A = this chain, B = another copy of it.
Amino acid sequence: MAAEETGILQEAYPMKEGEDREMATEETGILQEAYPMKGGDGHYSYAKNSTHQRKATDFAKELIKAAIAEKLDKEILLCSKTFRIADLGCSVGPNSFFAVQNIVEAVESKYQHCQGLNSQIPDFQVFFSDHTANDFNLLFTSLPNDRRYYAAGVPGSFHGRLFPKDSLHFVHSSYAVHWLSGVPMEVVNKKSRAWNKGRIHYSSSGDEVFLAYKAQFDKDIEQFLQARAQEIVYGGLMALIVPGIPNGTHHSQNGSSMNFELLGSCLMDLARKGMVSEEKVDSFNIPTYQLSPQELEGAVERNGCFSIEEMEDLHVPVPSHSGEYKINGQVAASHLRAVMEGIIKQHFDEKILDVLFDCYRKKFDEIDFSIFKSGKVNNFFFLLKRKATNQATG
């Protein structure tokens, strides 16, 4: 049945990622791939190596509670028979379950303390969403036994539609929207001025490379906000926890990017040893972008459907040799591997993983965390609220 016959725009419906990718390559000029966090629960799994991401979720906990208490309209609660929550970029679970429980408890508490609402606590339905390649089997078997909600898994890219129109009341996304939909094509094109030869991110690259990444982020965040504007009910909230950099920071001072470049230098070491081809390293780039608050503000303004209700630096402690958040090469390597193993396996051979991360571990210890001393690594909390129609179109 064709779109004309049903009156439904087929474009609004999600596509399988394979198809997405093809279209993206031809029409949008990016190389789109899905890079799930490492599944399973082994030594290098994301489940066991996401304590930094968990820390940011911890820091955001009270902000989310307060947001629900103060910014969630009573009208939404009054007319919702089911309160629907989505976590976008949930991975295999542990941090996601923690975040979702906090949201459910805060909404329950609001119902209990709002006059005229306390007898009407609705059912909660929680959608755990991530790329189709995510390990949903592990996610489902890990669901907390004592959960107070109906759980569902939703596969697909959050750069497109994932949910029916006006169906979500609260969207949460932690450590996810900094992932681009793919590597900008220019940075792997030998003929382009943005060709990123010998590097895998942009902190030590020229402006052209950085601007190609930035253009991709602007396009991706636009698509992300467009999709969510359709899916979130008027007055609904969206909490985003995003690694980024302060306004006005030059890309050479981007701490996360500097960290990736350390891994890139190891890949170049492997190329010199003949373990991988230099060309293979040249064509490898990590598709993440560390935004500044101003950039998100700009995107939200251009989109027009959301107001920014809050914007905070979470001040997650910077890793150091001692103190609350200790780190060393071993820990840093395990964390980075949990996030990057998938994308590296996809491009190189699985065999290089041990050597590569061992090199990273050594270099990390040698430089004595100087990346985290000189570079900027921030974790931002943004609370967005879906405006009502007249505001959105006005």
Residues of chain B within 8 A (CB-CB) of A8 are 108, 121, 148
B165 A81 Cβ-Cβ under 8 A: yes
B123 A164 Cβ-Cβ under 8 A: yes
Knowing A123-B165, A136-B140, A167-B82 touch, does A6 contact B108 (C-beta < 8 A)? yes
A164 B112 Cβ-Cβ under 8 A: no
Residue of A8, A81, A118, A165 with highest tally of chain B CB at under 10 A? A8
A150 B82 Cβ-Cβ under 8 A: no
Residues of chain B within 8 A (CB-CB) of A14 are 147, 150-151
A1 B108 Cβ-Cβ under 8 A: yes
Q: Is A119 an interface residue (CB 8 A)?
A: yes
Q: Which residues 208-223 in A have Cβ within 8 Å of B in the complex?
A: none
Q: Is A179 an interface residue (CB 8 A)?
A: no
B13 A149 Cβ-Cβ under 8 A: yes
Q: What sequence of 0s and 1s flags, for each residue 102-125 of chain A, a beta carbon within 8 Å of any chain B beta carbon?
A: 000100100010000011011111
B140 A163 Cβ-Cβ under 8 A: no
Q: What is the CA–CA distance of A52 and B89 in the complex, to the nearest angstrom? A: 38
Chain A count of residues within 8 A CB distance of the other chain:
54
Q: What sequence of 0s and 1s flags, for each residue 367-385 of chain A, a beta carbon within 8 Å of any chain B beta carbon?
A: 0000000000000000000
Q: What is the CA–CA distance of A330 and B141 in the complex, to the nearest angstrom? A: 34
B81 A147 Cβ-Cβ under 8 A: no
B148 A10 Cβ-Cβ under 8 A: yes
Knowing A152-B127, A164-B122 touch, does A16 contact B82 (C-beta < 8 A)? no
Q: Which residue of B lies closest to A132 (CB)?
A: B140
Q: What is the CA–CA distance of A2 and B155 in the complex, to the nearest angstrom? A: 32
Residues of chain B within 8 A (CB-CB) of A125 are 163-164, 167
Q: What is the CA–CA distance of A259 and B84 in the complex, to the nearest angstrom? A: 45
Q: Is A143 an interface residue (CB 8 A)?
A: yes
Q: Which residue of B lies closest to A39 (CB)?
A: B137
- Return the 8 tightest CB-CB contacts between A and B, nearest first: A123-B164, A82-B164, A140-B155, A152-B152, A153-B153, A16-B145, A136-B136, A152-B154
B132 A135 Cβ-Cβ under 8 A: no
Q: What is the CA–CA distance of A43 and B131 in the complex, to the nearest angstrom? A: 27
Q: Which residues 264-281 in A have Cβ within 8 Å of B in the complex?
A: none
Knowing A137-B137, A153-B152 touch, does A6 contact B167 (C-beta < 8 A)? no
Q: Which residue of B lies closest to A83 (CB)?
A: B164
Q: Is A161 an interface residue (CB 8 A)?
A: yes
Q: What is the CA–CA distance of A136 and B92 in the complex, to the nearest angstrom? A: 13
A124 B6 Cβ-Cβ under 8 A: no
